[in-house]
Amino acid sequence: MRFFSDMANEITPGASPATPPPPASTGGEGSVSMNLQTAMDAISREDFPAALAALNRAIIDASQMQLAECYALRGFVRLRLDQFQHAEDDCTQSIRRRGNDPETLSWRAAARAERNNWRGAFEDLQAARLADTSSPARHTRTMQDYLPIALDHFETRMNVGGDRTEVYFDRASVFLLSGDFKKAGADFQKALKCNDRHGAAHVGLARIALQQEDYAEAIRLAGQAMQLDPDVLPSALACRAEACAGDGQLALALEDVTRLREKVGHQVEGLIECATLRARLGDLAGAIEDLNIAHDMNPDLPIILSLRGAVFAEMRDSAPLPGHDPVRIPGDQRGAIYEDRNSNGVPLHPNLVKTLSDIAGELQVPKLGQPE
């Protein structure tokens, strides 16, 4: 195992290189929690076969939230057992359930690197860097460590001969993700010389233009990609939407997101991508609508609830128009009333208070609000 051993200390600073962070789940079925703890104990003593057996048992009865955790830990264990394809698959299952967890992305990047899927590895490290609010620099360092090994791999592929289109494209993608836009652009152009209808290479060039804030060029290149290759329509639409937004053309950006939404249909991952784009563009109501549909399709995915909660929080934080009350979402007022009633009691209508007071007078007992 070449790459995981090099990056192990980066995964859990301050912990044993072989030990992932302890599981967050404490509830759920007792057998699941017990097997998770057994797995963690086995990992701490580097008995990975025993950890794998415990996680296999845990997965049988795990809830959706626990499944995300179980798959992530099993991906880690399989990585240590040199089962790289299985490790990648397990990490993917976890990411689909709870989103871009930095640790799980790092483990999947290592599994992909072991299988020489360098574009995928760098995509994961970039996602981990964006998701990691506490220590994003560690993923940058891992990219820097990976880069010369990846370039050696691409050089070997070049020497084999044959069609080099995908070699240029993969290397360009790695350069793009590592921030070397000049080399990335040169390799995307080489890929297009081999195949001038390579839509993904046009999207890559559009991404470079977007990063350099050349929004007009990004819009042009993304549009060209869509015309050349229908298969890249989703990624091209997403890129052009971001470019239009950067250029101040918000209406056009939202039109592209709407087209993307039509393209993905009822695919949950596509709905989540559309919702994320809408939220970034300020269409919070549209984002909630897409997330509600995704939730209807798969009500057990924690990532949907997490994203919806984040969008609702952004709605609440929106500044109200002058002279208007703060923004509320369904359930907010009921929650506020509940808290007030718990603290201050249930208010009674004046007519009811008068009736009760009259009855109290007839019975010669203290009236409401009077000491006994």
* Between 56 and 342, the higher pLDDT residue: 56
At 171-207, the pLDDT tens digits run 999 999 999 999 999 999 999 999 999 999 999 999 9
| Residue with the larger pLDDT of the pair 332 and 103 | 103
Distance of CA 23 to the CA centre of its chain: 19
- From the list 194, 178, 50, 69, the residue with the least C-alpha distance to 126 is 178
Q: Which two tokens stand for residue 184?
A: 């990335």
Identify the weakest region by mean pLDDT among 82-91, 200-209, 216-225, 341-350. Answer: 341-350
Residue 15 to residue 241: CA distance in whole angstroms: 42
Q: Is the pLDDT of residue 365 over 90?
A: no
Residue 87, pLDDT score: 97
Cα distance between residue 205 and residue 188, in whole Å: 7
| pLDDT above 90: percentage of residues in the chain | 62
Give 73's pLDDT tier (boundaries 50, 70, 90).
very high
Nearest-5° angle of CA 128, CA 191, CA 185? Answer: 55
> In terms of C-beta density within 10 A (0-12 exposed, 13-18 middle, 19 or more buried), how is residue 15 classed?
middle
Please list, in sequence order, all residues whose beta carbon lies within 8 angstroms of the beta carbon of residue 22, skipping any fewer than 6 positions away.
Answer: 40
Considering only residues 338 and 262, tell me which one the structure prediction assigns the higher pLDDT: 262
Domains of the chain (ranges; CATH) run 1-115 (1.25.40.10), 338-372 (no CATH)
What sections of 81-136 are H helices per DSSP? Answer: 84-98, 102-114, 118-131
Model confidence at 2, pLDDT cuts 50, 70, 90, reads: low
Lowest-confidence range among 62-66, 124-128, 219-223? 62-66
pLDDT in tens, 115-139: 999 999 999 999 999 888 889 999 9
Give one word for 257, left, alpha or beta, with left for phi > 0 and alpha for psi -120 to 50. Answer: alpha
Task: Return the pLDDT at 8.
Answer: 43
pLDDT of 11 reads 37
* Rounded Cα–Cα distance for residues 186 and 334 (Å): 58
Percentage of the residues of the chain whose pLDDT score is greater than 70: 87
Q: What is the pLDDT of residue 361?
A: 80
pTM of this prediction?
0.77
Position 351 pLDDT exceeds 50: yes
Rank 9-23, 140-154, 299-313 by mean pLDDT and report only the highest: 140-154
CA angle, residues 134, 290, 221, in degrees to nearest 5: 75
The one-letter amino acid code at 258 reads T
Cα dihedral sign, 206-210-212-215: positive
All residues at 6 or more sequence positions from 73 whose CB lies less than 8 Å from its CB, including other chains:
20, 23, 36, 39, 40, 43, 51, 55
180 to 5, 198, 218, 294: CA distances (angstroms): 26, 21, 17, 36
**Structural contact between residues 122 and 99, judged by C-beta atoms closer than 8 angstroms:** no
Spell out a b/e string for 131-164, using b for 16 or more CB atoms within 10 Å of the CB, else e: bbeeeeebbbebbeebbeebeebbeebeeeeeeb
Average pLDDT in the 328-356 region?
75
Q: What integer best gives the mean pLDDT of the chain?
A: 87
Mean pLDDT confidence for 268-292: 92
Tokens linked to 153: 């791999």
H helices of 178-301, where? 181-194, 199-211, 215-228, 233-246, 250-264, 268-281, 284-297
Q: What is the pLDDT of residues 74-118, one digit of tens each?
A: 999 999 999 999 999 999 999 988 888 999 999 999 999 999 999
